[in-house]
């Protein structure tokens, strides 16, 4: 991939226009502004934006782009926080938003067949209306799309019990550079024929092919759920309770951990239900049949015994507790107008080490850092709150970020559990992946995309 090109030639533009007539394409800078950025907030104007409605259009685009070496950057709603949708090497942005049909939901096969631009929450709702359950629930699900969820292997609050997006992808239809379409897997729940190309495409951040269809697995929906908020004197006690819960044989469907900084930040933002002595909290959700939830709630209550404050709600009032969790994001901006967020993972037993380590880094640099999250699977969201207009702060945040990534890797963890690499963690990729692993990934990339036209420069 040469980076010396700066735009499309006239004949390339003409070819593009013949594939994408009318308003299915734009090159107007004002219209393209939004396609130059994503939730990661970097910016680079694309050369053109196209909005295919059909697989055939994607195929023609990929034939043209491969032949002419035009970078293609697939995206939908741009909720990506690691700048994986930013066309920083130029190229054509492919918006999947017009491929947004739920093609079918099959209550006998327990599958859904969808186009990539379907909003995740819409699929969840439609499945629920039919008594079916699509479990993955990334925080962005009311706006983010299935295609993006697959490309990042998005997780969510309920991953501890239900797994991540990839666990629900049974098959994909994907257009490769050059225009060839491959179908991996399909409507079956089990399949060991050939290499797992489906799994390889999941989480590949748009670097291997353009997803145009996905077969998803559905489950029977759980009958009931309930939530407990338990507040503790300190983090040690909260995390001991987490181990108690798991050791009692319970797998909560969500298990969120709030350390001291988050408790303080929330208390400073508005009224909170816990006493001032509380230094940590857990939000624990249980689902299943009604009797099982009742029974497990008792077990959870005994696992959190000795906590300072306990609030328990059934399904109809759960949102009262979850609203507290959702407040973290708006409340955190009281600590600084700008945020950089990472989503590190550590082995489940190393959460306290990670939280304390991050606290040390925060103190060292005099920064506001909130580290909280999905304690059930060791996935910690780290939000660095600062003022982007202060170059000194900005530099300190970058230093703290790097120290945190090092810390997490030293604990046997991973730099990302949900967000991916994109541009934002790319400089540090060799801290986690060895040269042999990277060489394999780059070799695989070449098999799918020999001329490197797909989302160039992203990921590994």
Range 279-298, binding its own copies (CB under 8 A): 288-292, 294-296
416 binds its own copies (CB under 8 A): yes
CA 438 to centroid of chain Cα atoms: 22
Q: 219-220 and 309-314 as β-strands: parallel, antiparallel, unpaired?
A: unpaired
Work out which of 65, 114, 164, 385 binds its own copies, going by CB under 8 A.
Answer: 164
Position among 2, 10, 22, 195 found at the interface with its own copies (CB under 8 A): 195
Instruction: Verify binding: residue 104, its own copies, rule CB under 8 A.
Output: no
First to last CA, the chain: 15
Identify residues 36-65 at the interface with its own copies (CB under 8 A).
none
User: Which one of residues 3, 236, 243, 277 is an interface residue with its own copies (CB under 8 A)?
Assistant: 243
Shortest approach of its own copies to residue 131 CB, angstroms?
6
Q: Are strands 92-95 and 48-50 parallel, antiparallel or unpaired?
A: parallel
What are φ and ψ of residue 332, in 5° steps?
Answer: -65, -25
Q: What angle is formed at CA 453 by the lines to CA 115 and CA 144, rounded to 5 degrees?
A: 30
CB of 291 to its own copies, least distance (A): 4
Can you give the length of the chain in residues? 460
Of 184 and 332, CB closest to its own copies: 184
Helical H runs in 69-178? Answer: 120-129, 146-152, 159-162
Q: Does 200 bind its own copies (CB under 8 A)?
A: yes
Q: Which of 145, 150, 137 is closest to 205 using CA atoms?
A: 150
Instruction: Give the position of tokens 């049949």.
Output: 289
Q: Which stretch binds its own copies (CB under 8 A): 23-31, 89-97, 228-236, 429-437?
A: 429-437
CB of 369 to its own copies, least distance (A): 21
CB nearer its own copies, residue 7 or residue 183: 183
427 lines the binding site for its own copies (CB under 8 A)? no
How are the residues of the chain apportioned to helix, strand and coil, as percentages rounded to the nearest 5? Answer: 40, 20, 40
> Per CB under 8 A, which region of 198-206, 226-234, 259-267, 396-404 contacts its own copies?
198-206
| Residues 454, 313: Cα–Cα separation, whole Å | 47
| Residue 240 interacting with its own copies (CB under 8 A) | no
Q: Does 304 bind its own copies (CB under 8 A)?
A: no
20 is a site residue for its own copies (CB under 8 A)? no
**Nearer to its own copies by C-beta: 48 or 411?**
411
Q: Looking at 72, 176, 214, 382, which residue binds its own copies (CB under 8 A)?
A: 176
Please, what is the Cα angle at 357 between 353 and 360, to 5 degrees?
145
Asked if 419 interacts with its own copies (CB under 8 A), we say: yes
Choose which of 83, 227, 332, 379 interacts with its own copies (CB under 8 A). Answer: 379
Site for its own copies in 128-147 (CB under 8 A): 131
Question: Which of 17, 122, 414, 451 is in the footprint of its own copies by CB under 8 A?
Answer: 414
Sign of CA dihedral 392, 394, 399, 403: positive
405 scored as a contact of its own copies (CB under 8 A) = no
Cβ density class 400-412: b for 16+ within 10 Å, e for less: bbebbbebbbebe
């Amino acid at each position: 991939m040469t980076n010396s090109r700066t735009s499309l030639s006239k004949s390339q533009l003409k070819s593009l226009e013949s594939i994408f007539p009318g308003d299915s394409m734009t090159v107007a800078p004002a219209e393209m502004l939004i396609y130059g950025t994503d939730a990661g907030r970097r910016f680079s104007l694309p050369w053109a934006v196209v909005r295919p409605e059909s697989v055939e259009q994607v195929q023609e685009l990929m034939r043209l782009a491969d032949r002419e070496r035009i970078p293609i950057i697939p995206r939908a709603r741009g909720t990506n926080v690691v700048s994986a949708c930013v066309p920083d090497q130029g190229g054509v942005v492919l918006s999947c938003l017009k491929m947004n049909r739920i093609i079918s939901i099959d209550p006998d096969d327990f599958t859904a067949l969808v186009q990539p631009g379907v909003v995740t929450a819409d699929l969840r709702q439609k499945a629920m209306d039919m008594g079916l359950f699509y479990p993955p629930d990334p925080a962005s699900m009311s706006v983010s799309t299935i295609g993006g969820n697959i490309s990042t292997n998005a997780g969510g609050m309920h991953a501890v019990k239900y797994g991540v997006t990839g666990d629900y992808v049974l098959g994909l239809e994907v257009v490769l550079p050059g225009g060839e379409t491959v179908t991996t897997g399909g409507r079956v729940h089990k399949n060991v024929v050939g290499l797992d190309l489906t799994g390889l495409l999941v989480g590949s951040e748009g670097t291997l092919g353009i997803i145009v269809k996905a077969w998803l697995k559905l489950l029977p929906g759980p009958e009931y759920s309930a939530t407990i908020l338990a507040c503790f004197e300190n983090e040690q006690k909260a995390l001991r309770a987490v181990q108690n819960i798991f050791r009692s044989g319970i797998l909560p469907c969500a298990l969120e951990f709030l350390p001291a900084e988050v408790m303080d930040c929330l208390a400073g933002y508005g009224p909170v239900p816990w006493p001032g002595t509380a230094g940590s909290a857990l939000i624990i959700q249980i689902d299943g049949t009604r009797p099982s939830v009742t029974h497990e709630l008792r077990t959870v209550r005994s696992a959190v015994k000795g906590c300072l404050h306990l609030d328990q709600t059934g399904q109809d009032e759960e949102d009262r507790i979850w609203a507290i969790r959702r407040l973290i994001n708006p409340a955190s901006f009281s600590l600084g107008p700008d945020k950089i967020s990472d989503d590190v993972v550590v082995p489940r037993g190393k959460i306290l080490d990670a939280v304390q380590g991050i606290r040390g880094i925060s103190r060292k640099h005099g920064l506001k850092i909130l580290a909280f999250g999905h304690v059930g699977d060791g996935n910690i969201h780290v939000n660095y709150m600062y003022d982007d207009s202060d170059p000194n702060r900005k530099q300190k945040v970058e230093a703290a970020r790097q120290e945190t990534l090092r810390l997490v890797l030293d604990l046997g963890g991973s730099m990302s559990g949900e967000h991916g690499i994109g541009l934002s963690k790319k400089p540090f990729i060799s801290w986690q992946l060895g040269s042999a692993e990277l060489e394999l990934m780059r070799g695989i990339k070449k098999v799918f995309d020999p001329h490197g036209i797909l989302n160039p420069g992203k990921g590994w």
